[in-house]
Structure 1
Amino acid sequence: MGTPIYIEDTSYRRNCFQFNICMVIDGNQHHEPYRDIAQLLAMSFQTLEVETKLLSNPREGTSIQAILAQLRQQLNDAEECFVCTDSCHAISFKVRRWTPALTRIEDETAVPVPLVDLQKLLDPERRSESQGPDLQQALPFSLDPALAAVLPLIDGVRSVQTIANDSPLRSDYVVMILRHLIHFDLIHLIPSITLDSRYRLTPAYHAVLEDVEKGQEAVQYVTAGQLDGKDLAEEDRCKVIQRVMALYAFVACEGKQLEQFKQEEAEEIAALDISLRHFVTWGLLQGYLERVEDNVGSLNKEQADELFRLRTEHIPNRKKQLKEQGLSGKEVNQDDKVQEMVQRMQMLRNVEA
């Protein structure tokens, strides 16, 4: 890794001088932290070349090879350097290396779901023609060939392992690319969706019942774009949102498997043109749903029913009643009855988990 330098000056034979001081780095290391070192070395040698002609016409007794060897040793040993090039000049700086706080991918069966149109990111013309600012600013780094090879494989269906297998790149490179995409909020990992999966609601489920705009997004997503809530009359729009959100309560009812939910609600799913995969994916992305592992949980049926009612009826109804009385969100959450039910719900969840 190095930073090429070009110095234009009539004192040189060709009116310019070019050089590049390079470091050799382990291929398994993340290269980003070393870019600052390469730039500092380039700036230091550029200054010395302009002032003393260190590289193009070194003084007698000055060994460029010896200077580079000292720099290499000091940077490796102490991550700082102080190397004199003559009685008046020295190369001196301290390295403060950093590594991006990338999310680790623990489960290779997890599925990366795009949060933006990744195909548009592959096409600079389509990205620049986009109406909104999201796609124009979504990619905060250059689109290199490795990234371009992985993006088409991220379709919300393939798992991390499948993408790594289908990609021409090494598996560890693919995982590193996915970690960067997660870091920049371009994709999100969700558990793999299978018909034997079980799900439960989270407290975030109740918030969408009061957010019409989020409800419209939910309708558009779960129908894979077949139905846009904005195109409906207000009364019909509210009814469709309520029907969709009611299905989330049913899929998390009494720990039923997704296949059972699909069979029981087949008529409603067909009537709303819902894609089951999009339906579950949206719930996981928004935090309405969380997957329940088969080997986890010790609630009996009575406790499971109580937990379900607390999540879907008692707590949201109490909050709605208090808000209708003019209380603020903070005051609602501080209500004694609400806090008591939330504590009971949390206790049951701890037992369940």
Structure 2
Amino acid sequence: MFDSNGAAAAKCNLEALLFCVFDKDAGPIVQCADPPLGADGYSFQKVGHYLLPDSTIKGRVVSIVYGDRVMMGTPVYIEDAFYHRNSFQFNICMVIDSSKHHEPYRDIAQLLAMSFQSLETDTRLLSNPRDRISIRDVLAQLRQQINDAEECFVRIDMSHAIAFKVRRWVPALTKIEDDTLVPVPLMDLNQLLASAPRSAAKLPALPFSLDPAVEEVVRLIDGVSSVQRIAQSCPLRSDYVVMILRHLLHFNLIRLIPEIHMECKYRLTPAYHMVLEDSAMGQQAVHYVTAGKRKVDSLNEEEQEAEVQKVMALYALLACEGQVVEHFQTDYQEEITELQISLKHFLTWGLLQGYLEKVEEHVGSLNKAQAEELFRLRTILIPERKKLLSDQGQPAKDVNKDQQVVEMVARLKELQEMEQKSGSA
């Protein structure tokens, strides 16, 4: 078994399993444990109220650092008129070494909670004082089997058993090498954290439960602040902040782009020349770069294409002659205003979609005439020639062999190579 870095992962080592319950007279207590609590162990009783917090925490993993150990479990709250005060509260809590990687144990905490909740609902095993000894026996068998084989099968009676396998799932997180990069949210992260059902908000189901600490980081992600600035502004430790950002990056909730400054220069990438083939992506581009002020889906096909071409032409003009953003804004203020473009959104979209790359050296991609020729070849001349030949009934393989098409494609590739070389000089 290996972790995300390829290193052998240590086996599970549950030092103890505790049955914590809310007693009607004593409050939160550790009712029984394996191994049985000795004189030293009874100090665990002091943290009982942390293991059974407010009912709003039910179903979430709770962990408490206690010296060199961590106590971890998932509180369970069962509401039923059968119980005193109409509810039964318990937590099957693990005691583990605080220096161990905790992710596999979080899964065990959830599995134990689900297994014992089902068991209590069906048999009342946990709430019946006469079965207290058998609970300790069950805990002992579970701890031994999980430690020995990282799986368990403990029969309770002829109809019930607790069985599961520990799955070590540690995502291969992308390292954030440059803390000057800016996290950009790919969806409304605050809405993602809201208590409202995600289905009602048309948000994706998450493959993980959100740690409350995520909210501290999410509120600082504004598409402008760098990783470094977020880490400095957040009350959490900087390494925790970076770890949260790496998880958000892994689950495609954010993307990292270079910081945007008025003195920056950009060049086009090959991805730019493919966007006009996707009408849906072109509509998204117009909507994003105008900060939602312009929508082209209500226009006819010809008007949509014209609108998208105007926006994409500005990217070509930004890249030609290697001018800085400040000069671009001055030279094309009229076009930017007419199209209702937000410069911040314009640059962010180009970087997110890979149309633009930041140029570190003071070099240009193509001069203005070459940039315009490249744009016309890619978006007008070649597509129109191919459409004309197709309308005449020529098959696709013959269309691509047409002399004019071959010459224009060769010139297109030549200009693209020039752009690539100059941009990487």
Aligned to 2:17: none
Structure-1 separation of matches of 2:396 and 2:244:
40
**Aligned-pair CA distance for 1:136:** 3.5
Residue 215 of structure 2 aligns to a residue whose secondary structure is helix
Q: Within 5 Å, which residues of 2 pair with 1:197-346?
A: 197-230=264-297, 236-294=303-361, 304=366, 308=371, 312-314=375-377, 317-318=381-382, 321-326=385-390, 337=406, 345=416
Cα deviations by residue, 1:231-284 (Å, 9 ceiling, x for unpaired): 556655443322211101111113222122112112211222211111001111
Contact preservation (8 Å) 1:200, 1:252: yes
TM-score computed with the length of structure 1 as normaliser: 0.69
Cα deviations by residue, 1:126-166 (Å, 9 ceiling, x for unpaired): x66xxxx6843335144543222222222211112222222
Aligned to 1:101: 172
Residue 231 of structure 2 aligns to a residue whose secondary structure is helix
Structure-2 separation of matches of 1:96 and 1:333:
52
**Aligned-pair CA distance for 1:32:** 3.2
Structure 1 pair 346–26 and aligned structure 2 pair: CA distance change class (3 A): farther
**Aligned-pair CA distance for 1:175:** 2.0
Aligned to 1:173: 240
- Percent identity of equivalent pairs: 54
Q: Within 5 Å, which residues of 2 pair with 1:31-180?
A: 31-38=102-109, 95-125=166-196, 135-138=201-204, 140=206, 141-180=208-247
Q: What are structure 1's unaligned runs of at least 5 residues?
A: 8-15, 84-90
- Look up the equivalent residue of 1:227 and give its one-letter code: R
Residue 136 of structure 1 aligns to a residue whose secondary structure is coil
Contact preservation (8 Å) 1:5, 1:19: yes
Structure 1 pair 218–119 and aligned structure 2 pair: CA distance change class (3 A): same
Q: What are structure 2's unaligned runs of at least 5 residues?
A: 1-71, 79-86, 155-161
Cα deviations by residue, 1:180-200 (Å, 9 ceiling, x for unpaired): 222232222211111122212
Structure-1 separation of matches of 2:288 and 2:272:
16
Structure-2 separation of matches of 1:110 and 1:68:
48
**Aligned-pair CA distance for 1:93:** 8.2
Structure-1 separation of matches of 2:375 and 2:305:
18
Cα deviations by residue, 1:28-62 (Å, 9 ceiling, x for unpaired): 76643323444566769x99xx9x99xx899x9x9
Contact preservation (8 Å) 1:109, 1:159: yes
- Look up the equivalent residue of 1:136 and give its one-letter code: K
Q: Which has the higher helix share?
A: 1
Contact preservation (8 Å) 1:121, 1:139: no
**Aligned-pair CA distance for 1:169:** 1.9
Structure 1 pair 113–104 and aligned structure 2 pair: CA distance change class (3 A): same
- Look up the equivalent residue of 1:137 and give its one-letter code: L
Aligned to 1:10: none
Structure-2 separation of matches of 1:334 and 1:23:
70
Residue 137 of structure 1 aligns to a residue whose secondary structure is coil
Q: Within 5 Å, which residues of 2 pair with 1:5-44?
A: 20-25=91-96, 31-38=102-109
Structure-2 separation of matches of 1:268 and 1:17:
67
Structure-2 separation of matches of 1:343 and 1:224:
33
Structure-2 separation of matches of 1:172 and 1:330:
56
Contact preservation (8 Å) 1:167, 1:174: yes
Structure-2 separation of matches of 1:341 and 1:230:
33
Contact preservation (8 Å) 2:319, 2:366: no
Residue 124 of structure 1 aligns to a residue whose secondary structure is coil
Q: Which has the higher strand share?
A: 2
Aligned to 1:88: none
Structure 1 pair 135–28 and aligned structure 2 pair: CA distance change class (3 A): farther
Aligned to 2:259: 192
Contact preservation (8 Å) 2:181, 2:257: yes
Count of aligned positions: 339
Residue 112 of structure 1 aligns to a residue whose secondary structure is strand
Residue 309 of structure 2 aligns to a residue whose secondary structure is helix
Structure-2 separation of matches of 1:240 and 1:275:
15
Decide which moves more: 276-285 or 262-271. Answer: 262-271
